[in-house]
Amino acid sequence: MATTTTNNDEIQIGFVENTDDLAQAFDCQIATFGRQTEDSIWRSSNPGWDTPEGRDVGIKHAINRWNSVTKDHNGNPNTIFLKATVPDEASPGGRKLVGYAIWVQHSAVPGHGEPVPNEAQRLEASRAIHPHNETEARFHSQMCVSLYKRRAEVAQEKAATDQPAFLVLDCCIVDPSYQGRGIARQLVQWGLEEAERRGGLEATTEGSVMGRRVYTKLGFQPEPAGEVVTNRG
């Protein structure tokens, strides 16, 4: 896997290194998905996100995921946590996290990537998020099943091929105060280059309206159905 990269604007793309990075990353999510875009799936996935208690839970979930990364048969991590940082004006010599992305290698073939959760697993996860509200849990589960339907189909389609794995941009967030500076493009470009390093894997993402402009500029093409955009290398 490639190491940290730097450009002339002092934006650095590197790997999440510690729990403080994950806390800053969740704050970026709050600012972007919670307040700027008011993303319904993200809000339902993070109940109480606008309270100190909800923030702590969200950070804890991120830490648990980061600590549970598996590897494929080549020793590559199946989940990659990236960060974008800039010089921190409030802390001379320090840096602050202003962007965040997660890339996931998926596969229905054991040893080639993380399996895409099925409907039963989605519901179980949603019930863990909403343990006292079955209606909300089922609603959240159905939103996720719908959003990730094509991802699950791609995993099955590739299972019988010579290359059963593919790389997915699971999320990409840039703090609203730092949008428009090419940070998202760099986080996405890193993943496309990693897909090539891993043998020319196909790269996909569930492209939001906000993100599609970046994705299409980097070669992603929308599929006829749903929100999936694909980069076939």
Task: Transcribe 45-76 into DSSP letters.
Answer: HSTTTTSHHHHHHHHHHHHHHHTT--B-TTS-
The dihedrals phi and psi of 77, each to the nearest 5 degrees, come to -65, 135
Residue 212: pLDDT band (50, 70, 90) is: low
- Which of 93, 86, 34, 74 has the alpha carbon at shortest distance from 165? 74
Residue 186: pLDDT band (50, 70, 90) is: very high
- Which of 162, 70, 68 has the alpha carbon at shortest distance from 109? 162
Whole-model pTM over 0.85: yes
Q: What are the chain's domains?
A: 5-231 (3.40.630.30)
Q: Is the pLDDT of residue 8 over 50?
A: no
Neighbouring CB atoms inside 10 A of 117's CB total: 16
pLDDT digits (tens, 9 = 90+) for 79-119: 999 999 999 989 888 999 999 999 999 999 999 999 999 99
Q: Name residue 153's amino acid.
A: E
Q: Name residue 124's amino acid.
A: E
Contact assessment for residue 183 and residue 11, using Cβ atoms and an 8 Å cutoff: yes
Query: Backbone dihedral region of 93: left (phi > 0), alpha (psi from -120 to 50 degrees) or beta?
Result: left
pLDDT digits (tens, 9 = 90+) for 162-182: 999 999 999 999 999 999 999
Crossing angle of the two packed helices 183-197 and 209-217, in degrees rounded to 10: 60
